[in-house]
Amino acid sequence: MGNSVEGKVIIVTGAGRGIGREIALLAAAEGGKVVVNDLGGSADGTGADAGPAQQVVDEIRAAGGVAVANTDSVADEEGAQRIVQTALTHFGRLDAVVNNAGILRDRIFHKMETSDFDAVVAVHLRGAFLMSRAAAEIFKNQRSGAYVQFTSASGLIGNFGQANYGAAKLGIAGMSKCIALDMERFGVRSNAICPFAWSRLTGGLPDNTPEEKQRVERFKTMTPDKIAPLTVYLCSDMAEDVTGQIFGVRKNEIVLFSQPRPVRSVHRAAGWSVQDIADHAIPALRSNFYDLERSGDVFCWDPI
């Protein structure tokens, strides 16, 4: 491995399994000192287990790397502060925060409980905010630092049964851009990654129809380790001029996502009545409407 993040202290949340684990392993192999954070709960956020985080730390140390475990919840403000303090206590500084921790509580919208919405938003959006905020003063004062936020195609494009997850993940994309704008003057960067990878959070995809089975098999070829290189790059000094972007990783493809911008407008000097909108505005705009698509409809080719 290389030395792209040699000596840098990197927090990776949700690093006990899946994508986070692969990021932590690569960051350590590239010379970083890693805080491996994982509550150790189930995929729906219940329970806790110190084992997954410690196992990754043991694996890093066995390979000659440097790491320490933390099992606080990112959704708890004091917990987020303790995660950051873990980096300062053990390594004396902090250079990057990777906000990867997440849970799923998928429900079709008319059956979604408030508790399902609140729990998912708490871990993903609130957790990413709390972790980013806990590191902000450190980054500001040292005039350097990098955030890597994790968004999802469920938010950027849309998906069935994930109004909670999609809301949180699109919120993260918006928050990342605003952090990038606010912190640019201090030399601090924030970018978002939309990962396509088979993990325990995607392991529950339906496979009842031939089309769904094909989608699942396609997903299984996209392994979590493919997400790690771009993440570590964005933590490194090589990415010092890259901020405010939304990337995707899909097996060996790296995607740059568009960000919402006006695509067409209509004007009426006298203003619009309700009937005028029905008669003129919507017919003029309709050719630019977006279809009700999911990620699989947009990314319809086999991963490369």
Residues forming the active site: 165
Q: In the 3-class helix/strand/coil scheme, how is the chain assigned residue by residue? A: CCCCCCCCEEEECCCCCHHHHHHHHHHHHCCCEEEEECCCCCCCCCCCCCHHHHHHHHHHHHCCCEEEEECCCCCCHHHHHHHHHHHHHHHCCCCEEEECCCCCCCCCHHHCCHHHHHHHHHHHHHHHHHHHHHHHHHHHHHCCEEEEEECCHHHHCCCCCCHHHHHHHHHHHHHHHHHHHHHHHHCEEEEEEEEECCCCCCCCCCCCCHHHHHHHHHHHCCCHHHHHHHHHHHHCHHHCCCCCCEEEEECCEEEECCCCCCCCCCCCCCCCCHHHHHHHHHHHHHHHCCCCCCHHHHCCCCCC
